[in-house]
Structure 1
Amino acid sequence: MKPFLAALGIGILVGALYSLLGTRSPAPPAIALLGLLGMLLGEQAVPLVTRVIHGQEVASFWKASCAERVTGLPPAPDDAP
């Protein structure tokens, strides 16, 4: 239930931001796609920054974990549930 409430809260914040920027909702396709790309990149930023702060290697983590999520490539067969 918690992810649903978080999604609702974030949706309300984004809706308010759209209103402040004068963008209609649902957003035009180009704006919506850029927004989705921003969400994907933002989602990956937290683990990347955490690794940088802890002095861990970032390039292989990006390649192994983040790139698939951002580019939409399906996970490798050994990662499947």
Structure 2
Amino acid sequence: MMPYLLSAGAGILVGVIYALIGVRSPAPPTIALIGLLGMLVGEQVVPVVKRLIAGEPVVAFIQTDCARHVLGPQAGADKPTPVTTATDSADGGKA
């Protein structure tokens, strides 16, 4: 969560500096974000093609490594294990 807050803070700081010196951002926000998304997806083309050529599994790679790279560390993460309470472990789960 901290990297996202730092990124937002840096963006706000740059926006304030742009406003103070009287310039507009170099690209409309939507176009800039679509361009960044294209860059992230484009970076994944080479590893996927290498896996295809090598005959390695591709779908699992896309669902885990590619998803994590494009969408962030929370994407493709394993499901959390259920939390056991102290009473569950003390009496073998019988209440």
For the aligned pair, the TM-score class normalised by the smaller chain equals: 0.5 to 0.7
Offset of residue 73 of structure 1: 3.5
Distance 1:43 1:53 in 2: 17
3-state SS of 2:44 partner: helix
Q: Which has the larger radius of gyration?
A: 2
TM-score for both structures, normalised by structure 2: 0.49
TM-score for both structures, normalised by structure 1: 0.56
Report the counterpart of residue 29 of structure 1 in structure 2.
29
Higher helix share: 1
Report the counterpart of residue 69 of structure 1 in structure 2.
69
Offset of residue 29 of structure 1: 0.5
Distance 2:36 2:46 in 1: 16
Deviations 1:49-76 (A, max 9, x none): 1101111110111122110111124475
Distance 1:65 1:32 in 2: 24
Aligned residues: 53
Report the counterpart of residue 22 of structure 1 in structure 2.
none
Distance 1:72 1:65 in 2: 10
- Give the unaligned 5+ runs of structure 1: 1-24, 77-81
Report the counterpart of residue 55 of structure 2 in structure 1.
55
- Give the unaligned 5+ runs of structure 2: 1-24, 78-95
Letter of the aligned partner of 2:58 in structure 1?
V
By relative contact order (CA 8 Å, sep 6+), the higher-ranking structure is 1
| Structure 1 vs Structure 2 CA RMSD | 2.0
